[in-house]
Amino acid sequence: MSTQETNEHDRKGSYVRKGESFDRDMNYIPTRITKDGEDGYPVEAGRYRLVVSRACPWANRTIIVRRLLGLEDALSMGIAGPTHDKRSWTFDLDEGGKDPVLGIERLQEAYFKRIPDYPRGITVPAIVDTRDGAVVTNDFGQITLDLSSQWTEFQREGAPDLYPEHLRAEIDELNDWMLHRVNNGVYKVGFAGSQEAYEKEYHLLWEALDELEERLSTRRYLMGPSITEADVRLFPTLVRFDVAYHGHFKANRQTLATMPNLWNYLKDLFQTPGFGDTVDFQHIKEHYYYVHTDINPTQIVPLGPDMSHILEPHDRDRFETDTWGPGGTAPEPPLASEVVEPEHTPLHLQGR
C-alpha cells in the first residue's frame, strides 16, 4: 500500500477528542420511503438501491431485515468496501471501483446529488434513488422499521412480523436503551478521550450486558419465543464483540464467549438463516483496525480470533420457540452474488 493511500485512510482525530467523551452525531436525513409517498418517495420495486458495508453494524441491521423479509428482488443492494477515507465509503469491491448500478466510485457522490456539500458524515446504510442517483435517507433506525411496515407488498410469503403492533412500545423502549448502552455503548468505551470517560462508559456497558445476560436466561429471544426487530439490533453488536470491541475498544472485562446466555443466543442467531450469512468477519476487522487510527495508529489488522466455535451447538431450544412467528418461515438462501466469501466466515453456504 502506497504512502498516499495510507494517508488518505488516516482518520486520526476523527473519533477521539482528548479529554472528552465520545458523542455520536445522530442527525440523519429523515426522508422516508412509504406506501403513500408522503415525503415524495413512494415504495416501488426496482427503484431504490440499499448501499451498505458488511463491516458496519448499523448497515448490518438493514442487510438482515432485507434478507428476512425477502426483499432482494424489490430492493437491490450495493456493497461498499470495508475501509473508507475522510471523504467517503468507496465501491472498491466492484469492477473498476464503481457501483454497477449507480455508476459512482464514492457514496459521497449520491449524498452531494441530494444535498450539495452535505456537511455531515457519509454514512451507511443509505438508500439511493436510482432514477437520479441521489440519496433518499441514511436514517438507519427508521429504515428497518419501514422495510417491515411500508414494503409489505413486496415481502416474501412467510415473511416474519419483526415489529408486531402489540409489542411495539416494549420493543421501542428496549431498542432505545440498547442503542445508548450497548450498540453505541461500545463506541463510547472505545473512543473515550480520557481515563475517567473510559471507566464510566466501561462500567455502564458491562452493566447493560449483564442485564441482557439475565434477560436471556428466561427466553429464547429478547421479546420471547419469536425473533423481532430487537434481536436484529442486538445481533450486529454481539457478533462484532469478540472480534473487535473486546480488544480494539478495550471492552475487555471478559469475552462474550464466557457469558453462557449471550454466547448461546449469539450462536443461535448466527446459525439462523438471514443472520450469520450476512456477516463478514474479515471486513469487520479490516474496518475497525485499519480505519480507526486514533486508537490503532499502526493499522495492523489482527489474524484472529478464530470464530469457528460460533457454529458449535447452542442450548436455546430449551425455551418456548416460535422463531418466525405465526405463519412465518425461514428465508431462502442468499443470492449467489451476495454470499460472503468463504475465507471470511466459518459459515459456508451455496447461494441461489
Report, as residue numbers or ranges, the catalytic residues: 56, 187
Sign of CA dihedral 258, 174, 82, 193: negative
What CA–CA distance (Å, rounded) separates 185 from 61?
A: 17
Q: At what angle do helices 57-69 and 140-149 cross, to 10 degrees?
A: 0
Secondary structure (3-state) at 303? coil
What CA–CA distance (Å, rounded) separates 133 from 124?
A: 15
Terminal Cα-to-Cα distance of the chain (whole angstroms)? 35
Q: Which three cell numbers stand for residue 212?
A: 441482557
Q: Which residues, in sequence order, are CB contacts of 262 under 8 Å at separation 6+?
A: 209, 212, 213, 216, 238, 256
* Other Cβ atoms closer than 10 A to 195: 9
Where does the chain show beta strands of DSSP type E?
48-53, 76-80, 126-129, 134-137
Per-residue DSSP letter, 289: H
What CA–CA distance (Å, rounded) separates 114 from 118?
A: 8
What CA–CA distance (Å, rounded) separates 198 from 203?
A: 9
**What are the start-end ranges of the H helices in 37-180?**
57-69, 107-114, 140-149, 168-178
Closest CA to 206 of 243, 251, 175, 240: 251
